[in-house]
Copies of this chain bind each other. A is one copy, B any other.
């Protein structure tokens, strides 16, 4: 039954099947063009260069062929069985195209076209689109979307630069933030499984997509940038059933009057009260991040398959200042910096210089010996008093590679407690940082950022564990 919308089913028990969006059997690209300045060019170029394996049908009445493919005059002319249409025509033609898609039995649409609810005169057009979609059982991403990406299927139906493959799904109301975040995240060692630019979100919103991706085996963490939520009925219950399965990190803007006004002219979003949203997030166990940088900070920690999680944090440092900074942020965020066991202290004292500090935070004091880092990490991880470890490094440009390898060698793969590293230095230690990232050790610029990520990780895991025990 094509027109069935599981969104009307009981919350948490069902979700809309978005498989045809992310992995369509075939794909029509309406408005594909060979004019490089046009959006329809970026779109078809990304799809072709991305290497999508299923049939792609460009549609443009003015062209015969494009990048070696036959171009169709209308979507009604393409072979049947197309599951997804990506629409990049002018706003004036959008409704005609949508109707033609519906008539051709294409039920999933990504609408790149702008000029809907985000513009002064466009809300009527958006209402028309919404109503038509609902009464004809269409599933729509957008309008005013930058597209959709599924790195596993090599589907890059998107006008933003392509992300590297990884395990974060990013649902963003800003398309441009998508590409920009991909670029930045790549440097941080974070890649993406899916990307959906929801734009004005006339139909599918963050809740629908997150609910579907809760069951996506390629996605370990869901991250989202949103300006407002339409159709937010059942938000808490629906999102709770997502966060039970995987962490959801949200950057929400439009918090102030000025921001809300700007959001309205960007995606036509009604930002709503931030206090209400904050309360709903707390209930739904959503992790809020201050900006996209912190979103990546948190994703980095959540991507790792740590076996346990508790609030008692050990801090190991090669300099006193960063250790103090990390301790402050841990305690400010509800973590504890406990005494380490007598046995652990003795072991540390036996290998560290006499002027080192063998209480928690453990200050090895300036050392260039990578093995000392490795030994200290091992000793601290073996202490039953410690649930997780923050290691702060300053500088160490010359021995960066040896150091990163020694730290990586200290991980116990059988019982992995969280290890987050802050490495304060310039990009001259990027090689060392990369080695840590390649070994599954999240790296941050400052002790404060590492500690904030640790707090987000631990608090969330504990809430989820507790909830699981209660149900």
Contact = CB atoms under 8 A, between A and B. Distances in A.
Given A187-B427, A227-B324, A253-B324, A395 B180 contact: yes
A342 B445 CA distance: 44
Interface string A146-190: 000000000000011100000000001111110111011111000
A419 to B, nearest CB: 19
A253 to B, nearest CB: 4
B227 A183 contact: no
A156 to B, nearest CB: 15
A449 B183 contact: no
Copies in the complex: 2
A431 interface: no
B321 A174 contact: yes
B257 A176 contact: no
A18 to B, nearest CB: 23
A109 to B, nearest CB: 20
Contact of A184 (B254, B324, B426): B426
Contacts of A65: none
Interface in A250-278: 251, 253-259, 261-263, 265-267
Nearest to A318: B176
A363 interface: yes
A426 B263 CA distance: 25
Contacts of A128: none
Interface in A113-128: 114-115, 118-119
A425 to B, nearest CB: 4
A428 interface: yes
A291 B446 contact: yes
Given A119-B355, A445-B293, A177 B262 contact: no
A428 B118 CA distance: 31
Given A183-B425, A184-B445, A395-B183, A324 B254 contact: yes
A6 B328 CA distance: 35
Contact of A256 (B320, B327, B355, B395): B327
Given A291-B449, A293-B449, A324 B425 contact: no
Interface string A233-263: 0000000000000000001011111110111
Interface in A358-385: 359, 361, 363, 365-366
A446 to B, nearest CB: 5
A61 to B, nearest CB: 23
Nearest to A173: B321
Interface in A178-208: 179-181, 183-187
A119 to B, nearest CB: 6
Contacts of A446: 291-293
A448 interface: yes
Contacts of A227: 321, 324
Contacts of A185: 426
B320 A262 contact: yes
A261 to B, nearest CB: 8
Given A186-B426, A321-B266, A355-B119, A328 B361 contact: no
A428 B324 CA distance: 34
Task: Return the 9 tightest CB-CB contacts between A and B, nearest first.
Answer: A174-B321, A266-B320, A176-B319, A259-B328, A183-B426, A256-B331, A180-B394, A180-B424, A258-B337
8 contacts: A176-B319, A176-B394, A183-B397, A183-B429, A187-B426, A255-B332, A258-B331, A266-B363
